[in-house]
Amino acid sequence: MSNTVTRIRLAGVVIAAAASTAGLAACSSPTPSGDASAAAPAAACEPAKGNVTLQYWNTVPGMDQVVALWNKNNPNIQVEMKNISTDQYGIIGNALKAGKAPELAQVGYDQLPSLRTQDAFVDASACADAVAAKSKFVPWTWSQSSFGDTGVFAFPQDTGPMALFVRSDIFKKHNLEVPKTWDEYAADAQKLHDADPNLSITFFDPNNAEFFNGLLWQNNAKMYGYSGDKWHVTVESDQSKQVAEYWQKLIDAKLVRTDLAHGSTPMYAAYQKNQIASYIGAAWGYSMFRDNLPDQSGKWSIVPMPTWGSSAASGDWGGSTVAFMKGNTHLYESVKFNSWLNSDPEALAMENKLGGLYPAATAGLELPALSEGVPYYNNEKIFDVFAESSKNIDTSFAWGPTQKTVNLALQDALAKAAAGDGKLTDAISAAQASALKSMQDLAIPAVAGN
């Protein structure tokens, strides 16, 4: 499966490269992200004279209905949307190189720097509304989509603040309190395993770099920084090693399973058979359990992530922005639509209901649907936990300009370590090396360390 996907992506890349004569030229002169002076100058923000039609590409289920609502109320600014979930970044990449990018496109937070390196965005900061939108969003999301306030390149759409999903009945049965720190979590893992050798506290999917990055983020591991015209790569740090060593210990003691792929049928089957007592997940994961394991209704609780120290800290797993794409000549209208799309309560409620989006807008966190108890989770107000988690996410975390390559290198090494070949800390070193190498290959100036 993952092989096929990679092959298809590869083909997409080949097509992208070949489809454009300018492809090579575009690649050879990367603009390092984070450098305000190198970014394209902010385009003018004038309302258009007549009617405008905007293109908006995304991967969100049910987004067509949200767009239809906008179109009904805004005859002068019509939006045409396209679902690009077949090959999100391949399709965006093709369009960019062919000079046919849409006005707006969905881009994940971790892919923003890499696309900016390819000069994919326009700065909308000439629009006063765009700059003022800062106050509408959860701080870290704004920090990432504005690259530390160097412009307005995207509006945050949704996030995946992390939390711990707990089978409270299993914990109760074994007389365990819900763990508050990672140390308690490890101790509970041992106790559960001692009580029942078939029971694991959770699983560790080595082929999921995004999940692992979320864990690193929670421990304030800063992976990238940009200053003095170059990138500072600190993927390998005391914080990241601490996370790796922690999970290595659990794996060595066989307290967590490493044979389950996230979201796979075997994973759900293991939960169904009561073999796993908790799940470290993100806000969008609540529907996975509700819809795939209806029999376990009432047995789950959602609590804050276990912490490393005494103070609350959380990480983010997933989430996207809606970016202003290169060649956008209707910034005024784009900002209007983008702002409505990602901060209007009615739009946010629809996106949450149809697409499962957990809003990045602070107003969204107070949606009626997100302040009610959820029947599957014992009528607990689970979204309060995610809202709290959202506030505890480190705002200074940044992604690298070659994140996809680094993620692949990280996964390869994590999978090896999980199979007993090497340690998780080696995976951290591999990711560090891959980050430096991949940037070097693209002639992006980068150094190791601060």
User: What CA–CA distance (Å, rounded) separates 139 from 141?
Assistant: 5
Q: Which of residues 338-367 bind another protein (CB under 8 A)?
A: 354-357
Contact residue for another protein among 56, 185, 246, 284 (CB under 8 A): 284
Q: What's the rounded Cα separation, in Å, for the pair 272 and 267?
A: 9
Instruction: Tell how strand 52-58 and strand 104-108 pair up.
Output: parallel
Q: Does 15 bind another protein (CB under 8 A)?
A: yes
**Rule CB under 8 A: is residue 384 a binding residue for another protein?**
no
Residues in the chain: 450
* DSSP states along 369-382: GGTS-BGGGTTB-H
Pick between residue 62 and residue 139 the one whose CB is nearest to another protein: 62
> Cα(263)–Cα(315) distance, rounded to whole angstroms?
19
Provide the minimum distance between the beta carbon of 300 and another protein in the complex, in angstroms, as a whole number.
14
Minimum CB–partner distance for residue 320 and another protein (Å): 10
- What the block records as the tokens of 287 is 């529907």
Question: Does 11 sit near another protein (CB under 8 A)?
Answer: yes
Does residue 433 interact with another protein by CB under 8 A?
Answer: no
Residues whose CB falls within 8 Å of the CB of residue 245, separated by 6 or more in sequence, listed in order: 424, 425
Please tell me whether residue 170 binds another protein under the rule CB under 8 A: no
Looking at 266-389, which runs of residues are DSSP E strands?
Answer: 278-282, 300-303, 316-324
Closer Cβ to another protein, 19 or 131, answer by number:
19
Helix axes 238-252, 209-218, angle to 10 degrees: 120
Rank residues 61 and 327 by Cβ distance to another protein and give the closer one: 61
Secondary structure of residue 202 in the 3-state scheme: strand
| Of residues 102 and 151, the one with the C-beta less far from another protein | 102
250 vs 282 by CB, closer to another protein: 282
285-157-108 Cα angle (round to 5): 75
Which residues in 251-270 contact another protein (CB under 8 A)?
A: 263, 265, 267-269
- Judged by CB under 8 A, the residue of 8, 10, 48, 132 near another protein is 8
Judge contact between 406 and 435, C-beta under 8 A.
Answer: yes
Please report whether residue 294 would count as binding another protein according to CB under 8 A.
Answer: yes
Are the C-beta atoms of residues 140 and 397 closer than 8 Å to each other? yes
371 near another protein, rule: CB under 8 A: no
Q: Closest separation between CB of residue 197 and another protein, Å?
A: 22
85 lies in the site for another protein, by CB under 8 A: yes
- Written as one letter, the residue type at 102 is P
Q: Does 287 bind another protein (CB under 8 A)?
A: yes
* Interface with another protein (CB under 8 A): 8, 11, 14-15, 18-19, 59-62, 64, 82-87, 91, 98, 263, 265, 267-269, 271-272, 284, 287-288, 290-295, 354-357
